[in-house]
Amino acid sequence: PSVARGRKAEIRLDLVAPGEAAVVTLGIVTKEGSFPPQGTDVVDVPAEGVTSVDLTEAIRGEAAAITISSTAPVAAGARVVLRNPDIFGDLLFLAAASPLDAAAVVPDNRTTRDLETRLILSAPEQATSATVTGFSGGEEWNAGRVELSAESTQVLTIEPPRRKGKPVESYGLVITPDGAGPIYGVRMLDEEGPRGPLVTSFPLTVARLLATVPEAYPDVSVGTV
């Protein structure tokens, strides 16, 4: 996520090779396109060891995706340390995301005077798009549509509708990809105000919309044997 807004941030990527040593190639996918981070595009991870990579300058306050390819199995996670010189800070952890080939559902989102809900979506390979639908109190609304060119990242800030003169503060979201290409994303909450800065996010995952139903038999003896 973009965590600038006059705040100091540090972004680190931790790589672990649980077995053999690995040579890892990194890429940064931003709104303007994809590029290798200068000086840290190729990283050596020792066998059964951990390597930490500082990507603060490479990302430079923009929302971005990090692509990782490796010569051997590795696990990865990102840490974002956020500091406000006048107050305090927060720590955000990010895990690897899986591609969305069906709808993702985020049931609990908030928008208040101090709190924003944002979706960060990336298409590291080919152009694609996604439709976002909001729901609350038995009603639905069109929360936006994201058109992603190949090798790009975009941010959608959710602006819920108003009811009885007041904006809806708590709502759910459904993110439906069009299936044209792999799309990855996270939901982020970012709070300023007297309690902030506070941040949290998690990767979007495909919702379980189907259930396997056991086959039924028209023979009562099946249940009594």
Residue 224 pLDDT grade (very low, low, confident, very high; cuts 50, 70, 90) = low
pLDDT digits (tens, 9 = 90+) for 103-145: 999 988 999 888 999 999 999 999 999 999 999 988 899 999 9
**Is the separation of the CB atoms in 50 and 22 below 8 Å?**
no
DSSP-derived 3-state class of residue 183: coil
Quote the pLDDT of residue 223: 62
Backbone φ and ψ of 148, nearest 5°: -110, 125
Which of 3-17, 103-117, 203-217 holds the top average pLDDT?
A: 103-117
Higher pLDDT, 225 or 108: 108
d(CA 68, CA 15): 10
Quote the pLDDT of residue 6: 67
Does residue 27 carry a pLDDT above 90? Answer: yes
Quote the pLDDT of residue 61: 72
Mean pLDDT, residues 67-74:
95
Q: Number of C-alpha atoms within 13 angstroms, CB side, residue 81?
A: 7
Does residue 225 carry a pLDDT above 70? Answer: no
The reported pTM is 0.85
Quote the pLDDT of residue 2: 78
Mean pLDDT, residues 200-204:
89
Percent of the chain with pLDDT over 70: 93
Helix (H) / strand (E) element for 185: namely strand 184-191
CA distances from residue 62 to 1, 3, 6, 16, 87 in whole angstroms, order as listed: 7, 8, 13, 25, 23
